[in-house]
Structures are given as C-alpha cells and as structure tokens.
Amino acid sequence: MITITNSPMGFLYADTLEKHNIAGTGAYSIAYHVTPTLVIKRVRPEEKETEAEAEHPFLAEIAFLKHMNKCQDRCSSIVDCFLTFPDHIFLSYCPNNQLDRRLLGHQEREPGVDGLRGRLIRIKEYEDPAIVAQWIQQLSSALEFVEKIGFCHNDLHAGNCLLDKDFNLKLIDFGRVTPIGQLLEGVSVPLAILTRVGPLSGSYGLCGARTEQFAVGSILYFMVYGHEPDDDPNVDRLELCERFNRMEFPELNRHEVFDELISACWHNVWPTMALLAYSFKWKTEHIAGSIPEYEVIDRVKEIKNCETLIRKGILGPELALLYRPFWWKYLHAGKNIFFWKVLIDLPRRIRLWFYC
C-alpha cells in the first residue's frame, strides 16, 4: 500500500519507488511492479556511483527505445516502453515472468553453493512443442524488427524473454544494443563462439545475423531440451565451451524440426534475421497451431498512468513538481511568496503586540 506523506516542497507525494514489489533484477537495474500493468526499471544505486567512470547503464537502451517508439509500425513481440528518464524506464508488465525461470522450474538439481545452481540431475518436465514453436516464432519476429531498424540486441538469453498473461513471449533489455556491424562484446559460450580465422580471430566477431542466430539456436535448445547447451551433467563445462569453439556441438535427437533449426542457427545458415524469422514460421506453423493474439495495449492511456504516478511523487518531488499543471505551479509559487511575506513581517507584528 502507498503511504502518503508531506513533502518538504509543500505538496503530497507517494512513498519512494522502493516501497513497491520487485518484479525483476538485472546486473545494472531493478524493476519495480508499480501498477497491475506497469513496471519501472531503475538503475541500481551502486551503478550511479560509478557512472563518472563508465557509460551510463541506460544510455544505449533509452536511445534504442526512443528510436523504436518513433517507428510507425510496432512489434508486439518487444516489451512496450511508455516513458524514459535518465535513471528510470516505464515498461509494460508481464505477469508470467522470465522464460528462464519457467524452464529452470522444470529441473531437478543438487543443492547449490554460494548462490550458484547445483549440478543438474534430470529434467522433470519438457515444454509442449506447440508452445516452443510459438515462443521461437515470436522471438525471431522481435529480432527481425530489431534488424529492420538497423540494430542487434547482443544480449540474447532466456532471462531476457518475458511471458505476458497469455504466455506470449516479449523480448526485453536492450542495454547492449548496438548498430549492426559493431564488435560483439560481453558474451560467451553457449550464446556466441569465437571466430577462428581472419583479422578478428579470437574475438566474437562483428554483431549481425551470424551472432544473433547463434544465440537463438542456444535459446531454442534450452526450450526443447530443458537445459542450456553448456549444462550437461556428464561433461565439464569448460570442456563443453572448448567444444563449442571448435564447432563440436551437443547431439541433437529430441525433435526433428527443432533440431534442424538449432543446427542451422549454430552453423550460420541465414544471412539475415528476416530470412530466419520467415523460415522459423514456415517450418513450425503446423506445430504451433493457433497462436494467441497479443493483448492490444492502449499506449495513450498507459502514458497518462505513468504521468499520474510521477505527479504523485513515485520518482521524487522534483519530477512530481515538473509534471504538475501550470496553474498548480503558479498557485504553489503564490503560496510560498505569501508564506515568506508573513514570516518576514512576523517580528514587526510581535513588537506591535508587546507595545499594545
């Protein structure tokens, strides 16, 4: 429940963002669930302290989201962004959480140590092929759109895929997005492999369809096999990573269509993500069957809801004042002037009272 308190600036405002439930966390951010349909993603306080030494964590993401929101056509498979501020981003809420949490919930593991996951014992339950086909179509559609406007996501994994109330997939977290053709950094096996020849040998190469589809193949493997490609309980993880970099991939023997798509992604078959999305839809539409429609979001209404929250002080009194109507600001200024006039005149009134 929001508690209303008195602001030192003279108006009522809601408690700070931290009073709300946490919807999710990332390396550089925390997302708070503030209404049934909205979350606010905020830079971690410790990241702000190091901002002078490094690029602001939200700089690339905000630039991408603003660019995307200017596009006439929209992509339902990407999370909706309504307002952005240097340290805060207003996003649509997806109640069924991250895809990786759902998939990890199907696993049985040994007890972990120091917050690390324990050794995988077995997969208790596998996802239905129909919903896997639905998710991979939606993910590839999102990446086709990102490519169309000239960018690469560069941080593709199941933790950056959310599930809405109808279990439709939405791509999130564009903190590492760059224009196509930039050097790919900050990734590792099984979401990327080192290039072996040429001037970029020993690096992950330039971002583009090659790097994006490799990560898609590993995400699809996770959906189908119930664990990530480098999470084989019978093989040391470092050895698996070495095998990946030698293009020696795990055996694929669970689903003919999905196995073919995984292998194609790992072997860089498609020159563009648009062709990948087309192939994925064509090869899996008979498996997916009828895919539920994405809920239509009233962006104008949600932006107004965001502004209402700001006026109530969810981001602090300074922004609350900024979003107040002009007439309220003038009224507030008039009240302040009247208060100071009374305060300045108080000694004279006290003296008159004593003399009388």
SS3 114: coil
Residue 247 vs residue 2, higher pLDDT: 247
202 or 160, greater pLDDT: 160
pLDDT of 344 over the 60 cut: no
What is the 8-class DSSP label of residue 89?
A: E
pLDDT at 79 over 90: yes
CB 219 within 8 A of CB 158: yes
Instruction: Characterize the bridge pairing of strands 12-14 and 4-6.
Output: antiparallel
pTM of the model: 0.86
Mean pLDDT, the chain, as a whole number?
A: 87
List phi, psi (to 5°) of 88. -140, 140
Q: What is the 3-state secondary structure (H, E, C) of 120-169?
A: EEEECCCCCHHHHHHHHHHHHHHHHHHHHCCEECCCCCHHHEEECCCCCE
In 10 A of CB 135, how many CB atoms? Answer: 24
For residue 68 the two structure tokens come to: 């995307």
Q: What local confidence, expressed as pLDDT, does residue 10 receive? A: 35
Domains of the chain (ranges; CATH) run: 1-93+297-324 (3.30.200.20), 97-294 (1.10.510.10)
- 114-135 per-position pLDDT tens digit: 878 899 999 999 999 999 999 9
pLDDT digits (tens, 9 = 90+) for 290-324: 999 999 999 999 999 999 999 989 998 888 888 77
290 CB-near residues (< 8 Å, 6+ apart): none
- % of the chain at pLDDT higher than 90: 66
For 205-291, where are the alpha helices, taking DSSP H only? 209-225, 237-245, 256-266, 273-288
pLDDT, greater one: 234 or 251: 251
Token couple for 243: 């095998």
- Measured distance CA(37)–CA(56) in Å, rounded: 27
Q: Is the pLDDT of residue 2 over 90?
A: no
Contact between 233 and 250 (Cβ < 8 Å): no
Q: State the sign of the Cα–Cα–Cα–Cα dihedral 233, 237, 242, 244.
A: positive
